[in-house]
């Protein structure tokens, strides 16, 4: 069974760069139809997709964050990472990593990590 | 961006009730619509993909329908473990967007 686990700082200061890693185990990391994505959820609010990347480097980003975000994949370690620079309090959220399956007939997030809360505060 | 609007935002129902949640897209998304369930403190869980296909391991009391701009999620007989927040999500274009959620509470 596929398992995803986020790791990251917890608390950070405004203007810093958020770096999160998602470790993937129990499944294939290099399938052609599997991308690896990040979704966030501000406390008590809804879900926002940040972006997704395939193991071959194909990347989709949310245009609202594109200037500040970078997703990378390390196939040798079966993990992928999120960097979000110049954070502010509005970036405070639970950050989830997820497997993003993209097929011709459907496209969705079919396995999720447990999430990690990142708080931006001075 | 495509806007996804769910209704209602919340509802109260009893165990055994039939529950229907609707999701409307701001433009046609064909059948590129997924439904997720999220329980407090937990990650979302995929229930329905491609508008009407049941994800492996999900109870058959969940069903989805619709295409184009209007979609529904139906729970045929609400069970105690179904009290949660439900989100629709379109996968027709970038950015992928979610509805604002529908919270299903116990009456």
Contact A73, A55 (CB under 8 A): yes
- Name the helix (H) or strand (E) containing B12: strand B10-13
pLDDT digit string, tens, across residues A90-121: 999 999 999 999 999 999 999 999 999 999 99
Nearest CB to B55; choose among A63, A110, A113 = A110
Q: Can you give the pLDDT at residue A32?
A: 84
> CB–CB of A48/A62 below 8 Å?
yes
Which one of A107, A110, A113, A114 makes the best mutation probe of the B interface by having the most chain B beta carbons within 10 Å?
Answer: A107
Residue A46 has its nearest CB partner, among B31, B55, B100, at B100
pLDDT tens digits, one per residue of B10-64: 999 999 999 999 999 999 999 999 999 999 999 999 999 999 999 999 999 999 9
> Torsions phi, psi of B82, nearest 5?
-90, -5
* Per-residue pLDDT in tens (0 to 9) along chain A, 122 residues: 899 999 998 999 999 999 999 999 998 888 889 999 999 999 999 999 999 999 889 999 999 998 999 999 998 999 999 999 999 999 999 999 999 999 999 999 999 999 999 999 99
What are the pLDDT digits (tens) for B51-93? 999 999 999 999 999 999 999 999 999 999 999 999 999 999 9
Alpha carbon distance B31, B96 (integer Å) = 14
Identify all chain B residues contacting A105, using CB atoms and an 8 Å cutoff: 31, 50
Residues 5-44 of A with CB under 8 A from B: none
| Whole-number Å distance between alpha carbons of A24 and A99 | 9
Q: Token digits for B82?
A: 């179904």
């Amino acid at each position: 069974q596929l398992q995803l686990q986020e790791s990251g700082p917890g608390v950070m200061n405004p203007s810093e760069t958020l770096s999160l890693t998602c470790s993937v185990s129990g499944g294939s990391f290099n399938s052609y139809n599997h991308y690896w994505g990040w979704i966030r959820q501000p406390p008590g609010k809804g879900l926002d997709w940040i972006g997704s990347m395939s193991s071959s480097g194909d990347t989709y980003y949310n245009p609202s964050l594109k200037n500040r975000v970078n997703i990378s994949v390390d196939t040798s370690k079966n993990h992928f990472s999120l960097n979000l620079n110049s954070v502010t309090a509005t970036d405070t959220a639970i950050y989830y990593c997820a497997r993003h399956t993209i097929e011709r007939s459907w496209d969705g997030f079919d396995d999720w990590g447990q999430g990690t809360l990142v708080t931006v505060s001075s | 961006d495509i806007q996804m609007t769910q209704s209602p935002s919340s509802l109260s129902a009893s165990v055994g009730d039939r529950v229907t949640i609707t999701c409307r897209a701001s433009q046609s998304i064909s059948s590129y619509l997924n439904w997720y369930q999220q329980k407090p403190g937990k990650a979302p869980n995929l229930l329905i993909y491609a508008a009407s296909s049941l994800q492996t391991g999900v109870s058959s009391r969940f069903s989805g329908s619709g295409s184009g701009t209007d979609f529904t999620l139906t729970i045929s007989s609400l069970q105690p473990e179904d009290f949660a927040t439900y989100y629709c999500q379109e996968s027709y274009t970038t950015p992928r967007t979610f509805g604002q959620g529908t919270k299903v509470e116990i009456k």
